[in-house]
Amino acid sequence: VPYLLRKIRRSKWFATLDWLSPNELQADALGDIRTQNNELSVWLVPDDKSNVAEVVAALSLSADQVSIVEYALIGLDIVSEKGFEVAENPGQTPFTAANHWHRDLVKLSVGKVVELCELVKQAQKERCRDREALNYMAQALGSGAVDVSKISGKLQQSLTKKGVLHNPPATAR
């Protein structure tokens, strides 16, 4: 079953805080599924998870620091069963070759967001270490499918310092 990948911060989903009732979630978790225009950005991942490296690279190249990437993998079948509408909107990341994996959950109501909370809570959550993320970024850059001008200046500096990016453009976004 394919998945929808959503970048999260896993600790926001910890259900082990002393003040938190069992089966409850921290309210901070809502920050991980903040919608814009009633839509939520996700990434399609095939059942063999073969494109996770590309998606992580796309997410990392959109950030401004090399860091860990934590994400939830929600079964696409469950999402469909729950009546979520998925739109094939291409991503806008610097990694142009990965942008076709991007999707949006659209027409989200408050009720749907609450349902989504439950789905993320139950979802498989994984962490890609910063070193791996850096490798994935290096691979992406090596493929020539990255629009370097769309990488933040801060990240360009960092990647240059780490020897992953050579000759960054003079103008950074």
Partner 1 sequence: MVPRMNTIQTFIPLQVFDLLDGSSTDDPAKNYLASQLNYKPAPSWSDTSDHNMLRYNKASRNVHNYFNAVYVDDHASVQNECTYVIRFLRENAINDTMIGTTSLNVIVSREGSVISPLRANLHAAPFGSSAGQYYGATEAVSTHLNVSANRVNEPPEYGIINRLLSMEPMPDFEDGVSNAFSEGIEYVVKEFGNDGVGALEERLVATDDLSCVAEALRTLGLMDDVKTAERRFRTLVMLLKHRSPIVRDAAAIGLAYLDDQRAIPAINEAIETEPLSFLRSDMEAIREQLAHR
Instruction: Sort 61 into a burial class: Cβ within 10 Å, 0-12 / 13-18 / 19+.
Output: buried
66 binds partner 1 (CB under 8 A): yes
Q: Is 34 in the site for partner 1 (CB under 8 A)?
A: yes
Residue 163's alpha-carbon distances to 55, 94, 102, in angstroms, are 21, 18, 28
Q: Say how far apart CA 14 and CA 145 lie, in whole Å.
A: 36
Span from 66-74, 75-83, 87-95, 115-123 in contact with partner 1 (CB under 8 A): 66-74
Name which position in 82, 100, 107, 131 contacts partner 1 (CB under 8 A).
131
| 122 in contact with partner 1 (CB under 8 A) | no
| 121 sits near partner 1 (criterion: CB under 8 A) | no
How many residues touch partner 1 (CB under 8 A)? 27
* Residue 114 sits in the site that holds partner 1 (CB under 8 A): no
